[in-house]
Structure 1
């Protein structure tokens, strides 16, 4: 099992990135590949999916994202494609809280998740996600410090670039920027929030 990869991002495409390590290029499927920049050094936490006709690497920005992906694979009726779609639009702690609170409305907002699938997710995972709900960040003091403000702006800029690569127009992105600026986060988190908001605009 490959736990993680650290190397240079050689190529970014829809659905995956290529990571170069010692002359070998690893194709890694990611929830939001466009948050990575070609030429940058990075570490991606991986899950190796093996079936009779499939051998694939799925990569995530954190172990927590990877672990939630693995939990979702244990749900009856959810495969890598469905689990990746959920991870592309939701943070692990948000998904975990929705499951623990049996919030079917929240879960059905994810692509490919209907009421039946949402109920199955709750049945299979409720009570098994303490590691995710216990690590939820405490809110407060957003953008109160100049250093944090600059970092947030940098992460937001990266997210905007990623959204434009995904095909969204500047006008569409500008409509949701005021809402995005209310919360801090990484570029990956901003992209996920933006995609959720763009789906409802």
Structure 2
């Protein structure tokens, strides 16, 4: 069982990357490949799935997200790919808070999650996930109206929350006051990262 990999990103593809560990390249599925750059050093906690037609590796930089993933795939009706899609659209803290608050409506906004599956997630996991202290602090973090408006605009353009978080709009806002200026800066930074510049 492969539980951890550390190496260099060799290739980035639509839903996975090739992580070069010595002379061996591992194909690892991650929630947001566009956040990485070729040549980047990367360490991942991994879940190895065994199927009739082969094996698949799913990777996570954060061990808490890895643990959330392993809990979610035990829920009836949820598979690895569906959970990875959930994590691509919302960070682990958001999903944990939705579960702990019994917020089925928030869960139903995630791809592949209908009313029945949302209910099953709450039935199986509500009250069983301890929100980490670091996550609680993140949840308490306030976002300025300017940053909030820019993040909403980026989401409406198709960017995912993990991608937006990776460029830290609140920090960029210090040098780019105003919604329009900040939005232009964020779009430029997101485009630069996708090109791996």
* Distance change (3 Å), C-alpha of 1:68 and 1:21: same
Give me the TM-score of the superposition, normalised by structure 2.
0.70
CA distance in 1 between partners of 2:141 and 2:85 (Å): 29
Please point out which of 161, 169, 186 is paired with 1:181.
169
> 1:82 deviation in Å?
0.8
> 1:141 deviation in Å?
7.8
> 1:66 deviation in Å?
1.0
Matches within 5 A, 1:82-161: 82-130=82-130, 132-138=131-137, 139-140=140-141
Match of 2:19 in 1: 19
Give me the TM-score of the superposition, normalised by structure 1.
0.69
> 1:51 deviation in Å?
2.8
> 1:183 deviation in Å?
7.8
1:62-113: CA deviations, max 9, x gaps? 1111111111101001001111111111222221111111101100110111
Q: How many residues align?
A: 157
> 1:172 deviation in Å?
3.8
> 1:182 deviation in Å?
4.3
> 1:135 deviation in Å?
4.0
Supply the RMSD in Å over aligned alpha carbons: 3.1
CA distance in 2 between partners of 1:49 and 1:69 (Å): 12
> 1:173 deviation in Å?
7.6
- Unmatched tracts of structure 1, length 5 or more: 144-162, 185-189, 195-201
- Unmatched tracts of structure 2, length 5 or more: 145-153, 173-185, 191-197
SS at match of 1:105: helix
